[in-house]
Structure 1
Amino acid sequence: MVEDLMAQSNEDDLDEIFALYLSACDTGELTSRDDFLNQHPEHADQLRELMDAADLIGTFSMAGSASDESSQPWTGPITLPPNRSDNDEDPRLASTASQIDVQTDMADTIGIGSALSADALGEHSNVDPNLTLPMANRSQGDSGPSLPYDLGDYQLLKVLGVGGMGVVYLAKQRDLDRLVAVKMIRSGMLAGQDEVKRFYTEAKAAAKLKHPNIVAVHQFGRRAGHHFFSMQYVEGEDLQKVLAKGPLPSRRAAEIVRDVAQAIHHAHSRGVLHRDLKPGNVLIDPSGQVHVTDFGLAKHTDADSSVTGSGAAVGTPHYMAPEQALGHSDRVTHHSDIYSLGAILFATITSRPPIVGDTVMQTLLKVAHQPPPALRSVNPEADSDLEVIVAKCLEKQPKDRYKTAKNLADDLNRFLCGQTIHARSRSRARKVIDWFGQVPVVAAVTGRQTSGTPIGQRRFQNGILSATLVLPLLLLGGLVWQQRANNAMPTRIRIAGGLPGGLYNRVSEQLSKTLQSRTSVPCEVVPTNGTWDNRERLLAGKFELAPIQATAVNGETLRVVAPLFYEAVHVLIRDDSEIDSVEDLSGQRIAVGPHGSGSRRAAEMVLESLALSESVSPRVEMPWDTLQETNPEVSTEAAIICIGVGSDLVTRMLTEHHWHLLPLPDGVSIALQHPTLHAMTITADAYSGSSIPPAGVHTVGTTAFLVCRDSAPDPLIESTLHSLYEEPSIAGLIPARQAAEWQGLAFHRISRRYYDDLEAAAANSQ
């Protein structure tokens, strides 16, 4: 039993090493066979037998094309020509058949489908692909058919290449007198049902597509028992051979992938997924135009035309999407092709795939679970915009990639035209999360699979484990630092003002002088358009303090420092006007404050309550100073100004410029409709020298607050409160004792403590 287990283990090791050899052949990394054998001396004899078995098949070469350098070798399954008896089988083939089957079995076990059979096997073999042709043209004693070979209207001239399933010939189509490429199933008339189905899947998928960057299919069918299809012949070389010479300049790389993306979008729009995009399937003709070919793994999105199971990893490992690497072929969408396009773009700029493993299986695991490296970490000279584009294509989650191949092509075109691309790099937070996700202990806790943890994450984990002992000290230090940051006064205090002639400017100027004297910190008052302008600029961090009307004090980041004063809605009418009541305002042009001002907002609320829409009573925006002019072309007979009682502007209008106040008799009703307003009365002593009756003028009003951001430092708020209330206090300010009685306001923490202390002191004094 022990010997059997050891033998089985030895066979498994041999299979894995041979798969590594095939993968090295696929990527072109194999230097020589002897070097590879020297790396595995314990299996050298068995490996050499497998390699020699493939070489032995090469003796069955075609008489007419044995010296043709364009013929490609093959180490795939042996296909005997038809009409040959079992007794004619060469004994050398029989003796090595089981050894050759190891190669194809390995490909099936790994689940790569055409990736290994076409790339790893097809490009490093010794069987003449012309053995797939019928026996009709063989002369007596020849070991294979001769070229040229007649296949109906086509005359096959030479072999262009060999893949895992098919052989491609250069042929002349006699009727149209043109050169074409003819692809035939490599196993000839012995092809199985699945092989034929997949062959025609490619033909039909490509035949549906008519695009200048897709190799066109002309005809497909069966001749003399052989399945074939003819397609456009493209001279030149594939992108894989171009990249073997070195990376391409960024602009040329972007041009190539843009054209490929446009072609793939055309395929997607017709329900065809490629599923095997790689540099080897991108042909470049002598004029530089690209042509996408090899739809051998194509799948129709409108029907299940795939011949692979959902558990097989379909595609080429280095360029397949994570969902393909996991074997979820049934989940493959157009996003999978977009991932492959990003991998191709990465390869064109760096001359290597984005993710490379030591073995095929390791490559699949890395593709599935590890993020690709940043483009400029491999090629520092790469453009930063291309790095962003590549990163978006190579996202692990399909929904995070470009929505369509056309979106990718458009972004590449923007890059080429010097325009701003639409893709955005991952946020710093997202990068940090992804980086932490690869830390082994984090991956274990979150259930995330990893393969080959990067050394940076391993070192981080070791550091975290070591830092666990000092974590409490780190937390304590962080709290101390945070407290100091909160207690740091700004180096400059900016205070918002308001409209010219208003109380906002007057109060802000007085506060600025007192605060600068108290703290020795430079203070600046900036004129604004009023409440809403102040609010937006305060939120944007352009002010530390700002007076704001009650209607605008909302949101999670604004905090009240102190109530400042009451603002009354002044409905002003020219003395020579015929307006005697609010009903007479209907049809009149009414001057209101500018957009962004609290006065304009309050005026609109009053007019809304009076059912005076803008279509009934048009609003007129003009500087308040204009109201003091007598020219009827630039003035109006009515104005609504929400401003602090006793303002210089209203005083001048009432005493010098022949205006009077119109009462709002139903202030309570207006306040019920708009809770930020309340009924109030403007008394005669507020504007001495005016015609206000002794009983005053009924109206509505609101409150102006001094507001800051929630993050405002504690010393700033404390100094501001002392500057407001300590002698000499600002005239007209709501007293501190009255402010302390306000409930339900979103006070700053220092303000709330200040008013609580006032109430406690008052209670103790009683």
Structure 2
Amino acid sequence: MPSPIPVTRLLPKDLYPCVDIGTCSSPLAQPGRGSTLQVPAQRPHGRVTSRFWSTVIHWDQLRSVVPVGSGGFGSVYKAEYLGETVALKKVKKSSKNQLASRQSFWAELNAAHLTHKNIVRVLAATTCVPADFEVEDSIGTILMEFVGSRNLQQIIYGSSELLEPNRSLKFSADIADGLRFLHSHGVVHLDIKPANVLVSRTEVCKIADFGCSLKLDRDPELISPYLSHVCGTYTHRAPELLRGEPVSSKVDIFSFGITLWQLLTREPPYTGDRQHIMYSVVAHGLRPSVQSHSVFRSDWGRLCATLLGRCWSADTRLRPSSLGSDHVI
């Protein structure tokens, strides 16, 4: 079997070139703006492959709309749009917390102005939906590139596909590349986990579902103000988030570590009562076990174990960075 990819080579030294044309403004912070999206640039009509996203969806150009999934956030459809296969996400209003659901919709657009091979690309988004496309209690619709129907959660736990070291570490490298790009533009995802990483037919991982994300106004390595609502998945949530402390990009590094452990072991990170797990993560330093898995006994496995220990350190200063000389990997 070929040697696994060296851990120290998973993240490139140079940042990927990018097009940063501004950030998305949420009307939540601008009373009276209604449903108007503030966009950095307009995508030319008929060019779905443009790097710039649009506030306009040409509804008459949608074809073959087929449902592919649904959940608490709303519904996702596969469709044809201007000759290209796309994903259509209809975000619904939460009956329990309408403000949180609106915040989630606008958070989905925090990375809409960015283009990178390891991030799901947003093509268009709007809060204006014609009646025949409307979903009851809908907040808005987002048009995205269609990556495929698989995510890492399904590959890890729902398939018999092999996850040999090279493949696992390649997937991890893709996630690390995507995080590095996001953090370099001040975007923190806040919900990195296998279910939020889509896998294309060509085995490229793309970070998706930005409904919990946050756009930092300052250096992404510095802390930001407190979150106004709880977000993320408790099994992957950094202890500082569980304590309700301010946020930095290091919370994504913690979640990345849990995700890498899942890729290497194909087991759930924790078992037991949710509240007990969250308390133990904060109060007793509970982390997924590396001692009980043979995968961590080889030379490269021990390197991975060392990396994991750094990623999920309770002290954010000891966690690696996705930027600068102290890379995630």
Return the TM-score normalized by structure 1. Answer: 0.31
Letter in 2 for 1:324: L
Asked if the contact 2:176/2:328 (under 8 Å) is kept, the reply is no
Asked if the contact 1:372/1:394 (under 8 Å) is kept, the reply is no
Asked if the contact 2:320/2:327 (under 8 Å) is kept, the reply is no
Letter in 2 for 1:249: E
Deviation of 1:269 (Å) = 1.0
Please, which of 310, 317, 325 is the counterpart of residue 399 of structure 1?
317
Residue ranges of structure 1 left out of the alignment (5+ in a row): 1-149, 412-766
Name the counterpart of 1:350: 265
Aligned positions of 1:715-726 closer than 5 A = none
Please, which of 227, 231, 247 is the counterpart of residue 144 of structure 2?
231
Deviations 1:398-448 (A, max 9, x none): 11100336767663xxxxxxxxxxxxxxxxxxxxxxxxxxxxxxxxxxxxx
Relative to structure 1, is the Cα distance of residues 404 and 218 closer, same or farther in structure 2, using a 3 angstrom cutoff?
same
Work out whether 1:367 is the aligned partner of 2:272: no
Asked if the contact 1:357/1:366 (under 8 Å) is kept, the reply is no
Please, which of 54, 70, 78 is the counterpart of residue 170 of structure 1?
78
Deviations 1:555-610 (A, max 9, x none): xxxxxxxxxxxxxxxxxxxxxxxxxxxxxxxxxxxxxxxxxxxxxxxxxxxxxxxx
Residue ranges of structure 2 left out of the alignment (5+ in a row): 1-57, 135-139, 219-224
Deviation of 1:372 (Å) = 4.3
Relative to structure 1, is the Cα distance of residues 352 and 371 closer, same or farther in structure 2, using a 3 angstrom cutoff?
farther
Relative to structure 1, is the Cα distance of residues 370 and 193 closer, same or farther in structure 2, using a 3 angstrom cutoff?
closer
Relative to structure 1, is the Cα distance of residues 259 and 186 closer, same or farther in structure 2, using a 3 angstrom cutoff?
same
Mapped to 1, the partners of 2:97 and 2:59 lie a distance apart of 18
Work out whether 1:276 is the aligned partner of 2:179: no
Relative to structure 1, is the Cα distance of residues 406 and 316 closer, same or farther in structure 2, using a 3 angstrom cutoff?
farther
2:110 partner SS: helix
Structure with greater helix percent: 1
Deviations 1:144-182 (A, max 9, x none): xxxxxx944323621122232221111111xx2111001
Name the counterpart of 1:158: 66
Aligned positions of 1:701-716 closer than 5 A = none
Mapped to 1, the partners of 2:121 and 2:110 lie a distance apart of 11
Tell which has more relative contact order, 1 or 2 (C-alpha 8 A, sep 6+).
2
Name the counterpart of 2:178: 263
Mapped to 2, the partners of 1:405 and 1:277 lie a distance apart of 17
Mapped to 2, the partners of 1:395 and 1:188 lie a distance apart of 34
Asked if the contact 1:376/1:384 (under 8 Å) is kept, the reply is no
2:320 partner SS: coil
Mapped to 2, the partners of 1:366 and 1:188 lie a distance apart of 30
Name the counterpart of 1:243: 156
Asked if the contact 1:234/1:285 (under 8 Å) is kept, the reply is yes
Asked if the contact 2:321/2:328 (under 8 Å) is kept, the reply is no
Name the counterpart of 1:208: 113
1:230 partner SS: strand
Relative to structure 1, is the Cα distance of residues 152 and 271 closer, same or farther in structure 2, using a 3 angstrom cutoff?
farther
Please, which of 310, 313, 322 is the counterpart of residue 239 of structure 2?
322
Deviation of 1:187 (Å) = 3.9
Letter in 2 for 1:326: R
Name the counterpart of 2:305: 387
The CA RMSD over aligned residues, in Å, is 2.9
Asked if the contact 2:321/2:327 (under 8 Å) is kept, the reply is no
Relative to structure 1, is the Cα distance of residues 158 and 236 closer, same or farther in structure 2, using a 3 angstrom cutoff?
closer
Mapped to 2, the partners of 1:393 and 1:293 lie a distance apart of 21
Work out whether 1:341 is the aligned partner of 2:256: yes
Deviations 1:595-628 (A, max 9, x none): xxxxxxxxxxxxxxxxxxxxxxxxxxxxxxxxxx
Relative to structure 1, is the Cα distance of residues 151 and 189 closer, same or farther in structure 2, using a 3 angstrom cutoff?
farther
Mapped to 2, the partners of 1:365 and 1:188 lie a distance apart of 27
Relative to structure 1, is the Cα distance of residues 206 and 153 closer, same or farther in structure 2, using a 3 angstrom cutoff?
farther
1:377 partner SS: coil
Letter in 2 for 1:184: K
Asked if the contact 1:238/1:280 (under 8 Å) is kept, the reply is yes
Relative to structure 1, is the Cα distance of residues 156 and 266 closer, same or farther in structure 2, using a 3 angstrom cutoff?
same
1:332 partner SS: coil
Mapped to 2, the partners of 1:362 and 1:193 lie a distance apart of 29
Mapped to 2, the partners of 1:201 and 1:167 lie a distance apart of 17
Return the TM-score normalized by structure 2. Answer: 0.69
1:184 partner SS: strand
Deviation of 1:286 (Å) = 1.7
Relative to structure 1, is the Cα distance of residues 378 and 340 closer, same or farther in structure 2, using a 3 angstrom cutoff?
same
Please, which of 273, 286, 292 is the counterpart of residue 378 of structure 1?
292
Please, which of 85, 88, 104 is the counterpart of residue 179 of structure 1?
85
Moved over 6 A (4+): 188-191
Name the counterpart of 1:196: 102
Mapped to 2, the partners of 1:152 and 1:192 lie a distance apart of 30
Aligned positions of 1:613-632 closer than 5 A = none
Deviations 1:265-297 (A, max 9, x none): 111111110000000011111211111100010
Mapped to 2, the partners of 1:384 and 1:363 lie a distance apart of 25
Relative to structure 1, is the Cα distance of residues 311 and 291 closer, same or farther in structure 2, using a 3 angstrom cutoff?
closer
Asked if the contact 1:313/1:326 (under 8 Å) is kept, the reply is no
